[in-house]
Amino acid sequence: MVGSAHFKELTGPQLGQMQNRLGLITEDKNGHRVLNSEKFLELTKLSNAQAEQYTGKPRQAFYKSAIPLKPSNKLTERIIALVTATDIAYELFSGNPQETANWMMAPNALLFGTTPFEVCMRGDARPLIEWLLDRAGQKIIGR
């Protein structure tokens, strides 16, 4: 059970281990978290220039296979929120990665026509994750 009043203060480990079902995050040879740029582009179907707009990373970074995710920076927080949301959605879509990726990039009327991806990348994932947890049958305290 998650208290919505304290949801914002929770960190990844407190929310539970990320499953990373879509493989967006990997580790480099030193064990540091990195964004798998190939998987990111494949799942989002974004061009390097579009990916630059969403992530703030130069489009040249997306020609490399991995983009470092530094602790406590905006991109890392947003990618972790995206992974968290897609992990829950993956469960709701009965473990279907393609359906999960399609949902992630599809405009949603409940999100006023934006996509779950856009919501996460602009830093507004909290209500989306709470909604997904509710849909997945996770009780949210304080609502």
Query: What are the average pLDDT values for consecutive 10-residue runs of the chain, which has 143 residues?
Result: 48 62 94 96 96 96 95 94 96 96 96 96 95 84 54
Q: What's the pLDDT score for residue 7?
A: 47
Q: What's the pLDDT score for residue 17?
A: 65
Q: What's the pLDDT score for residue 46?
A: 97
Q: What's the pLDDT score for residue 3?
A: 47
What's the helix, strand, coil split of the chain in %, to 5? 55, 10, 35
Strand pairing report for 33-36 and 140-141 = unpaired
The answer to whether the beta carbons of residues 63 and 71 sit under 8 Å apart is no
Q: Which two tokens stand for residue 61?
A: 């970074």
Domain coverage including residue 34: 2-141
Q: What's the pLDDT score for residue 34?
A: 96
Q: How many domains does the chain have?
A: 1
